[in-house]
Amino acid sequence: MEADMSIRRPTRSSNFMLIASIVILSVLSCARCQDFGYDGAKGPSHWGEQYNTCTGKHQSPININSLDVKKVNLPPLIMEGFDAHPQQTNLTNNGHTVAVTMKDHFPTISGGPLKGVYQYSQLHFHWGDNDTVGSEDMIDNHIFPMELHVVFFKQDYKNAKNAMKHSDGLTVLAFFYEISQDDNPSYEEFVQLLGNVTSSHKTATFEKPPSLRNLIARDLLHYYTYDGSLTTPPCSEVVTWIDFKEPIMLSHAQIEAFRALEDDEGHPLTHNFRPIQPLGDRVVLYNTDEIVKDVDLTDEIPAEEIDQNSLEHEKDRRPVKGKKPHPDSGSGSIGTSWTVLAMALVFRFYLTGSWK
Ligand SMILES: [Zn+2]
């Protein structure tokens, strides 16, 4: 096409078709383009070049030193809709992770360190090349083979994208995995469906949608909590992290199934965890029943010893770029630039009738 254009002057219509094709291709490629990854030039050490929030002072993940946490008795976490089985639940490979979304079902969480009610958005996973790596947060420098993030947005902010503009916009329930001898039956259909979403942007639907409770640990009393960020660009510092102490057990084969997924470029998605970030001036709280024995979770327990300053601390946030609706979903600055360039060329052609 390039050689042909140099020989004869293109007509208006052929040029228009060319530019239109560029615009369409740019838009299509943008929908699938990947502006961050976990290796090389797109890897975590380069995220800050495109998203300055990724260089903030309250980033996630972190290493939690269990000897350096503040023990507290927070009010009980109130979870609603966790036991219901949604009518439709989808599993999607978005090129960065595999995410579970529910249709017409909105579990909520409140209480604990949270002020207000938070609504389920999606859940997704982070894993590594083998069973010795994979989790994002670490406990006492221990790395788990996989980590589950259940993402909720504050209902006051209507949706996850808008919530990302507020320092208390999101909460993420994090669960670690450990290897068990036997398969976890609660994850049976889940692991089966992974085989249907090997390529990025494939979606599968559960035949028997699991309840949220089916996928998480049982002990929801013992947890660490701290203020941090999304662990993927734009790394917005808007997340109240709640990391549960009890791990979920999966067999080696079940975790291995995640490593068979592919990224946007068709490469194996063998690892998708961000390295730990400095704790800085933050204090990690540990919710325990050590002080209040025989806790009845249905009673309202007053918060004791909660460092309100650390919970309400106005974070040193930089402007959120607002490029993405929720964590782990891509957007396309490269594709967008092409679109703008092509549109400018078309406009110029119609003004001047010339490509020069
Ligand atoms: Zn995550």
261-295 per-position pLDDT tens digit: 999 999 999 999 999 999 999 999 999 988 645 44
- 159: its two tokens: 């949706």
The whole-angstrom separation of Cα 255 and Cα 272 is 13
Distance (Å) from CA 173 to ligand 1 centroid: 10
Whole-number pLDDT of residue 343:
57
Query: Which residue in 94, 257, 83 sits closest to 187, CA to CA?
Result: 257
What percent of the chain has a predicted confidence (pLDDT) above 90? 71
- Render pLDDT for 21-76 as a digit per residue (tens, 0 to 9): 544 444 444 343 448 999 999 999 999 999 999 999 999 999 999 999 999 999 99
Distance (Å) from CA 74 to ligand 1 centroid: 24
- Render pLDDT for 304-356 as a digit per residue (tens, 0 to 9): 444 444 433 433 333 333 333 344 433 334 344 555 555 555 445 554 555 54
Whole-number pLDDT of residue 299:
47
- 235: its two tokens: 């790394």
The answer on 45 and 87 residing in a single domain is yes
The answer on 172 and 27 residing in a single domain is no
Residue ranges making up the domain that contains 353: 1-33+332-356
Residue 236, pLDDT above cutoff 60: yes
The answer on 100 and 127 residing in a single domain is yes
**What is the residue-wise DSSP string for 224-251?**
EEEEE--SSTT--S-EEEEEESSPEEEE
Whole-number pLDDT of residue 35:
83
**Sign (positive or negative) of CA dihedral 346, 350, 355, 356:** negative
The answer on 146 and 76 residing in a single domain is yes
Distance (Å) from CA 234 to ligand 1 centroid: 12
Q: How many structural domains does the chain have? A: 2
Distance (Å) from CA 351 to ligand 1 centroid: 48
The whole-angstrom separation of Cα 333 and Cα 318 is 19
Distance (Å) from CA 328 to ligand 1 centroid: 7
Query: Which residue in 76, 123, 138, 131 sits closest to 249, CA to CA?
Result: 131
Residues with catalytic roles: 96
The answer on 275 and 150 residing in a single domain is yes
Q: Are 169 and 153 in contact (CB under 8 A)?
A: yes
Across the chain, what does the average pLDDT equal? 82
The answer on 135 and 17 residing in a single domain is no
